[in-house]
Amino acid sequence: MKPVRLTALVLAIGAAFPAAAQSNEDLLKELRALRDRVTELEKKLAAQPAAAPAPQAGQWGMTPEQAQELARIGTKTEALQDNFEAQGFKGLKITGQIDPTWIYNRRANDASFVLLNREDGRYTYDNSYFGMAVLDILKETESGTIWHLTLAPERGTGALINGGSIIHEASVAIPLEDLQTRLWVGQIPDWTGYEITLPAGNKLVTHNLLFDFMAPTAYTGAVYMTTVGKWQLKGGLANVNTARNSSGNKTPSLIFRADYAKGEFSGFGFSGLHGKLHNYATDDTDADGNAVFSDQGRNTLATLLEADAYFVRGDLSLFGQLSYGQQKKAAIYRENGLRDARWWGLSTTAAYKLTPRMEGVVRADYVYNRKNGGGLLGYSSDDGANGIGRGLALDADGNVVLAGDPSKGANRYALTVGANYRYDENTLFKLEYRYDGATQAVFEDLKDGGYSKNNHLLGASVVVSF
């Protein structure tokens, strides 16, 4: 309120009282006191800072300081985003896993923790893709190309097929017509069956017999991949189980897989391979190191076919697989020349959630491997560690001899029961008991040197992933 108006108001109020109530001198004193009080109030008002202007439209009631702070945060965020993209982090995903494992194998006379033990690339069902440390790097570029590098020292596919390489997968998937159709090239782990290679995606510690002995390890080549409705189709040409074919082996193998997602809970798929693969039966040499067979080191034609399916709903999970394979001149029985190897097998797994965190698991496997003394993909000799080949025994002098018909191989089976426990989002504990059996004495007992028709295994692991 302005001083003139305030003074007039005071005078009006004073004039409204009857004059007889007080003398003129008393009235003048009161007016002077009021005037001094008004003057004092005006000085105090002048000493205070100016009132803040009303917020501008669109600032939702913010003060200028708040609006400036918001603008500063926005500028800083844009700078961080630009720097993030400039450093190549946009579309980048890094994950990893490690699974220290403990294995007891009765016939191998062994009980040991297992972690990062390549052991010269030796692959057995009790020395498979567990005890791993994995770092997975996935990058998608602005154009939609997916760059994938998986490092797995000692225990990855590279340790088996490429001289101990730490590369488990090194591939790029380049979009062609759209993001649903790609050219996938590089080193790609095998896609056969319902089990996967890395431990975080499996319910048990060990793998089934079909995964271990009837499927390839990895492909190095080019694959055309597309999605059509509920189908995902892959097909291409590749080296199988080698980063580079040896001299004289100039023809890549045909590889393919198709998957159908029937609905939210179930689906099926099938895969196959047709081409020339390394024939280990031709590696035999005599006492002087000379080749026993004229096609030493050459590849021979192989055909692999398999079908698998799954059903997962609520607490119940079911998986199944049927596989068939053959390879020319790759059988174990080689009397009077090389013979063809032929085999087939099936595997099924059932799992049920006993509690929201604990799951019980049962797996059953069977492999028919009788023809021409047996022989599986990559296995063309009697193998006492894996129970592949013909029945063996010790003679009176302690020498290993054939115990039966040399032209008949042993059929193999395995029953595994176990459980896994989800401790938290990143930690999974696994425990299993596995019984392996065969129709002949094919398991070497390292404790006494003999051979048996069965073996017992205990396995435990903790898988920590991020």
The pLDDT of 68-88, averaged and rounded, is 78
* pLDDT tier for residue 180 given thresholds of 50, 70 and 90: very high
pLDDT band (50, 70, 90) for residue 344: very high
pLDDT-derived band at 283 (thresholds 50, 70, 90) equals confident
Residue burial 86-119, b: 16+ Cβ < 10 Å; e: rest = eeeeeeeeeeebbbbbbbebbbbeeeeebbeebe
pLDDT exceeds 90 at position 41: no
Q: Specify the amino acid at residue 234.
A: K
* pLDDT over 90 percentage in the chain: 69
* Residue-level pLDDT at 461: 98
Average the pLDDT over each of 43-52, 54-63, 349-358 and give the range with the smallest value.
54-63
Extended strands (E) in 328-377: 341-353, 358-368
User: How far is Cα 279 from Cα 257, in angstroms, rounded to an integer?
Assistant: 24
pLDDT of residue 301: 95
Residue 137 has what pLDDT?
97
Q: pTM higher than 0.85, yes or no?
A: no
Q: In the prediction, which pLDDT does 249 show? A: 81
State the chain's mean pLDDT as an integer.
Answer: 88
- pLDDT for the residue numbered 80: 77
Classify burial at 190, counting beta carbons within 10 Å of its beta carbon; exposed 0-12, middle 13-18, buried 19 or more: buried
Range from 102-111, 214-223, 231-240, 281-290 carrying the lowest mean pLDDT = 281-290
Q: Is the pLDDT of residue 20 over 60?
A: no
Decide if pLDDT at 5 tops 50: no
- Residue 451 sits at the vertex; the CA angle it makes with 449 and 454, to the nearest 5 degrees, is 130
Using one digit for the tens of pLDDT, what is the confidence trace for 305-333? 999 999 999 999 999 999 999 999 999 99
Contacts of 384 (CB under 8 A, 6+ apart): 392, 442, 443, 444, 451
Residue written as token pair 């000379």: 290
Torsion of CA 59, 63, 68, 74, to 10 degrees: -40
pLDDT over threshold 50, residue 81? yes
Q: Which fold has domain 125-465?
A: Porin (2.40.160)
Q: Average pLDDT for residues 392-403, to the nearest whole number? A: 90
What is the length of the chain? Answer: 466
- The C-alpha angle with vertex 235 and arms to 197 and 306, in degrees rounded to 5, equals 55
Q: What is the DSSP string of 366-396?
A: EEE--GGG--BTTB-S-BTTTTBSS-EEE-T
16 band by pLDDT with thresholds 50, 70 and 90: very low
For residue 13, is pLDDT > 50? no
Residue boundaries of the structural domains of the chain: 125-465
Closest CA to 248 of 278, 220, 222: 278
pLDDT digits (tens, 9 = 90+) for 151-174: 999 989 999 999 889 999 999 999
Q: Tens of pLDDT along 236-274?
A: 999 999 999 887 788 899 999 999 998 889 999 999 999
- pLDDT range class, residue 118, cuts 50, 70, 90: confident
Measure the CA–CA gap between 168 and 23, rounded to whole angstroms. Answer: 110
What is the average pLDDT across 355-364? 98
Instruction: Please tell me what DSSP assigns to residue 67.
Output: H
pLDDT of residue 60: 59
Nearest residue to 216 via CA among 243, 186, 240, 250: 240
For residue 452, pLDDT beyond 60: yes
